[in-house]
Amino acid sequence: MSSIKQFQVTFDCAEPERVARFWCEVLGYVVPPPPEGFATWDEFDRSLPPERQGSAFACSDPSGVGPRLYFQRVPEGRVVKNRVHLDVRVGTGLVGEERLATLEAECARLVALGATQVQLLLADEHNESCIAMQDIEGNEFCLD
């Protein structure tokens, strides 16, 4: 039995391109080139039937290491807590005040992009500090 080598993370959302571009900024991801035969993603989108226009968007890690992120439009809004969330690892290897300062600086950058800080969770005897956040459509993630 072979093991899975690649995967993508899919977000249900109302505005796929807007959310994808937010996550490009968060993670340093890029929008991949449009499909062959199209100069831009807008041109490709206009070629779709009206009901499919703006229904999906994606971004990827330019180094090819991280997973592709796929954003698909769904009719319903988020109504309960996410069962899965991303941990954005900005404080790896840092502890104490240095970690907290790094997390807070990244939090401020992401808030300026439209994210919301939900809760600062300070270090305890088992875990280092992290910050619970929401993206521009309310999807939860953590700065870790």
Give the model confidence (pLDDT) of 14-43 as tens digits.
Answer: 999 999 999 999 999 999 999 999 999 999
Q: Is residue 118 part of a domain?
A: yes
The pLDDT value recorded for residue 62 is 97
Q: Is residue 92 part of a domain?
A: yes
Q: Is residue 63 part of a domain?
A: yes
CA distance 43 to 50: 13
Both tokens of 121, joined, read: 């969770």
Phi then psi dihedrals of residue 103, to 5 deg: -65, -45
Q: Which residues span the domain enclosing 27?
A: 8-73
pLDDT mean over 42-64: 93
The pLDDT value recorded for residue 1 is 65
60 and 93: one domain? Answer: no
For the chain, the domain total comes to 2
The pLDDT value recorded for residue 80 is 73
**Rg of the chain (C-alpha set):** 17
Share of the chain above pLDDT 70, in %: 98
Pairing of strands 56-59, 8-13: unpaired
Among 99, 69, 74, residue whose Cα is nearest residue 84: 69
How far, rounded to the nearest angstrom, does the alpha carbon of residue 79 sit from its chain's CA centroid? 19
Q: Using CA atoms of 25, 60, 132, 97 in order, give the dihedral in degrees to the nearest 10.
A: -70
Q: What is the pTM of this model?
A: 0.87
Q: Which amino acid is at 29?
A: Y
Residue 49 pLDDT greater than 80, yes or no: yes
pLDDT mean over 5-9: 84
The owner of tokens 């968060």 is 26
CA distance 43 to 29: 22
92 and 135: one domain? Answer: yes
Q: Is residue 138 part of a domain?
A: yes
The pLDDT value recorded for residue 124 is 86
Q: Is residue 30 part of a domain?
A: yes
66-124 pLDDT, tens per residue?
Answer: 999 999 999 877 777 777 889 999 999 998 999 999 999 999 999 999 999 999 999 88
Q: Is residue 3 part of a domain?
A: no
94 and 58: one domain? Answer: no
